[in-house]
Amino acid sequence: MDQAAVTALLQTLAQGLLTGGLYALIGTGLSLIFGVMRVINFAHGDFLAIGMFITLALFRAFNLDPYLSLLVAAPVGFALGFVIQRFVLARLGDRLSEGSMLATLGIGLIVSNTLLLTFGAQPQNINVPYATNTFQLGGVQVSIPLLIAGLGTALAIAGLNLLLYRTELGRAIRATAQNPLGAELQGVKTTNIQAIVFGLGVAFAAIAGVLLMPLLYAFPTVGENYTTKAFIVTVLGGLGNLPGAIAGGLVLGVVESLGAFYISNNYRDAYGLVAFLLVLLLRPEGLFGRTVKRV
Amino acid sequence: MTVTAPLPAARPRALTFGNVWLSLALLAVMLLYPFVFGKALNFGVSTLVFAGLAMSWNILGGWAGQLSLGHAAFVGVGAYTMTLLATPERVPAFLGGPVAPWWGALIGMGLAVLLAAVWGALTFRLRGSYFVLSSIAVALVLRLVAINEEFTGGSEGLFMPELPTLFGLDLFDRRVEYGLALAFVALTLLVTHLLRRSRLGYALQAVREDEDGARALGIDPARMKLVAFMLSAALTALGGSLYAVYLQAFEPHTLLELPVSVQIALMAIIGGRASIQGPVIGALLLATFGEVFRTVFASANLLIYGVLILAVTLFAPNGVLGLFRRGGRKLGTAR
């Protein structure tokens, strides 16, 4: 390989890893929810869209720097998730994952169509001077907003890790994931824990939306694509497996990036889907997980 | 899914009076519709096509209890196969010329069965949410192919060519399409009815209610689900061909997007899964709501779908039909 080819490969990899970091953030939220409640959240991408539109609205109204919107979007996401789990999904009770899946599908439609009514269908972006800034690193160009997004992702995931493994709340969450009944018997209020977990998952999606806003156009159905990405990440990593979700996100980012560069950019979204189907077929426990019950 | 929402167990007895009257009423409405609402035939045809699609979905989603959110894939296979084979300039050379739409529809059904066989054989080995997730992915992959390939007309889609007449009837006449759509609904009703009374139908219900229990009775759950999937796929593809004739021009976005799959599934779920008339009732309800809300909310008309899904999962897990039945029997097993 000559010099230019190596640089191009490094460039593609860097791009893939940074995008993958964002996918990891989205996938972590979904995987967290699945891990504790066994619910596949079909509204995940739509919560991301909420994050984007909060950023957009605050920028339009107060000229607020997009990254400061995190202070609004994350709590709003958490509150929204908490309320949805506590007052909607929890009411489905034992009627299991299928009912909850459908309910989240409905919530997703409500969210995206409400955004459509409020903001219109036109794709909108915000003009911040650093949106297109890059810096050079050994011939590889790195986009500044993408790098910030990557750092934000790393911080958010580290924070989640601290919460899960260093706090009493984290112990309660892990206990609820492992055995809800057992946790309940130990005095854990599992309904509250589940609401908190759903809140955290939605907050993660909203954070990802904020981090993406300087890079992308926001439109009401933008979430659909990211719901799919989150599924792919979660399945690649193993359903409910958090470290797996991070690795899955990075893998997805790199696979897409390499495929787009070396095969065809038109099929960018397809590489992840194909990887997803292959993993589903060959290693349903995910690339990094333990075995799943087979029929 | 290993377990589903409690569904009304099929009672092994003849049709109840309620069912007979309901079916007759539905049939009368459908037969009289073109004479009363001659101006709104478009609504009638599309509603019937979707009712048939919902019935087809229900074979897998209702009777076998496997939630598919990828049935748009089969609608697409049916529509694209039929149209491509009927278009002189797009027909593969070895076929020697355009294929009549009814043969094209049959070939589309065959391809759909093939797709379902491969896809089902691979995913039904697994339990849990894997089938749902795979269903979304398969439809999305087909969508990407349809958008990016030249032979499918890319993102601009396809135009329906001149079609030969069927027994002297013009396929682009809305009244003819209405008749065909009604026949499609009748076919899916018939298949569902036969299925319910058949060995396969009982096996499917057993698998849906308790997979381990079914296995203990000597039923092979993966195989039963596969058969249901293939049957469901074939009928859905037939509906897809019909829908293509109705649309006359279509693009990947109108046929292969997730909302299409959701719409089909939702009609069956809202009406009542695992019932014979449920999907038809659901289709009538949703189509009517959709039409009304299209004028109020314009492009945000799916909002009402969201509200309806939520309402049904919360308050009527067995669908609208389930509500009726529960009304008769006072608080059933739900909750």
The residues with which A136 forms a beta bridge, in sequence order, are A141
Give the residue from chain B lying closest to A111, CA to CA: B303
For residue A101, the chain B residues in CB contact (below 8 A) are 67, 129, 132
Range of weakest confidence among A159-163, A207-211, B256-260, B291-295: B291-295
pLDDT at residue B13 is higher than 50: no
Instruction: Test B317 with A269 for CB contact under 8 angstroms.
Output: no
Burial class (CB in 10 A: 0-12, 13-18, 19+), B294: middle
**ipTM value greater than 0.85:** no
Split at pLDDT 50, 70, 90, the class of B1 is very low
Give the C-alpha separation, B149 to B71, whole Å: 21
- B33-61: per-residue pLDDT in tens? 777 776 778 888 889 999 999 999 999 98
A281 versus A191: the higher-pLDDT residue is A191
Distance, CA of A278 to CA of B312 (rounded, Å): 34
Contact at CB, A295 and B148, closer than 8 angstroms: no
Q: Which residues of A touch B306 (CB under 8 A)?
A: 105-111, 113
Give the type of residue at B130.
Y
Is A116's Cβ below 8 Å from some Cβ in B?
A: yes
Give pLDDT tens digits for A236-288. Answer: 888 888 888 999 999 999 999 999 989 988 888 889 898 888 888 788 777 87
Contacts with B310 from chain A: Cβ below 8 Å: 88, 103, 106-107, 110
Contact between B58 and B64 under an 8 Å Cβ cutoff? The reply is: no
Q: Is A144 on the interface with B (CB under 8 A)?
A: no
Please answer yes or no on whether A40 and B132 come within 8 Å at the CB atom: yes
- pLDDT tops 70 at residue A229: yes
The H or E element spanning position A185 is helix A180-185
B10 has pLDDT over 50: no
Pick B169 or A178 by higher pLDDT. A178
Q: Check if B300 contacts A (Cβ < 8 Å).
A: yes
The string of pLDDT tens digits covering residues A104-150 is 999 999 999 999 999 988 999 888 877 777 888 777 888 888 888 88
Whole-number Å distance between alpha carbons of A252 and A261: 14
Q: Are B305 and B262 in contact (CB under 8 A)?
A: yes
Pick the residue with more confidence: A56 or B20? Answer: A56
pLDDT band for position A97 (50/70/90)?
low
Q: Which residues contact B137 (CB under 8 A, 6 or more apart)?
A: A228, A231, A232, A273, A276, A277, A280, B70
CB atoms under 10 Å from CB of B87, counted, come to 18
- CB proximity B163 to A under 8 Å: no
Q: How confident is the model at residue A293 (pLDDT cuts 50, 70, 90)?
A: very low
Size of interface A-B (CB pairs under 8 A): 139
Cβ–Cβ below 8 Å for A106 and B136: no
**Interchain proximity A114–B303, CB inside 8 Å:** yes
Question: How sure is the predictor about B333, in pLDDT bands with cuts at 50, 70 and 90?
Answer: very low
pLDDT for the residue numbered B38: 67
Lowest mean pLDDT among A69-73, B69-73, B103-107, B192-196: B192-196
Any B CB within 8 A of A97 CB? yes
A295 — pLDDT class (breaks 50, 70, 90): very low
Task: Give the per-residue pLDDT at A57.
Answer: 95
Span A13-63, pLDDT tens digits: 988 998 999 999 999 999 999 888 888 899 999 999 999 999 999 999 998
For residue B25, pLDDT over 80 is answered with no
pLDDT at B4 over 60: no
Question: In the predicted model, is pLDDT for residue B332 greater than 60?
Answer: no
Contacts of B122 in chain A (CB under 8 A): 280-281
Q: Is 60 exceeded by the pLDDT of residue A162? A: yes
Please classify residue B35 by burial: count the beta carbons closer than 10 Å to its beta carbon, then call 0-12 exposed, 13-18 middle and 19+ buried: exposed
Percent of chain B whose predicted confidence (pLDDT) is above 90: 21
Q: How far is B180 from chain A (nearest CA, A)?
A: 32
